[in-house]
Amino acid sequence: MPRQGFYPHGDGPRWRADRPYHVALEDRYIREHWDEIYALCKLNSLPFNATGEVIKNDGVWKVYEFTWQMDAILFWDRFEGRWLRGTEFHYSERPENLPVLKPLENWPKPNPRNLR
């Protein structure tokens, strides 16, 4: 059953009908946490498909697309994303009883000094 408040992106020539759920992550966040995002998505079998779309709205955001609503919600929740509906951010409340992603074992915290 679909979760309320998490709607498909909408119609458009650039969006695939088989991947209707879109989440945007801030570019800086992606750069700082790339290894962790990649590893967590792989461990939890979450797809990690970039659309190539870039949104400049209070920062630079990169868009990722999902076939399944729950995959998109888990990605949105874990990586501080923004839900997209049309061309605007949609601020939904975190659903109750949301499953938890499997954590990475012995994962080091990112050090901002290592980012260059």
Q: From CA 44, how far away is CA 73, in angstroms rounded? A: 13
- Residue 88: per-residue pLDDT: 83
SS3 43: helix
What is the rounded CA–CA span in Å between residue 61 and residue 57? 7
pLDDT at residue 62 in the model? 94
Within the chain, which residues score under 50 in pLDDT? Answer: 1
**Residues 80, 36: contact at Cβ < 8 Å?**
no
pTM for the whole structure: 0.81
Q: What is the pLDDT of residue 94?
A: 85
Q: What pLDDT is stored for residue 71 in this prediction?
A: 93
pLDDT in tens, 37-56: 999 999 999 988 998 889 99
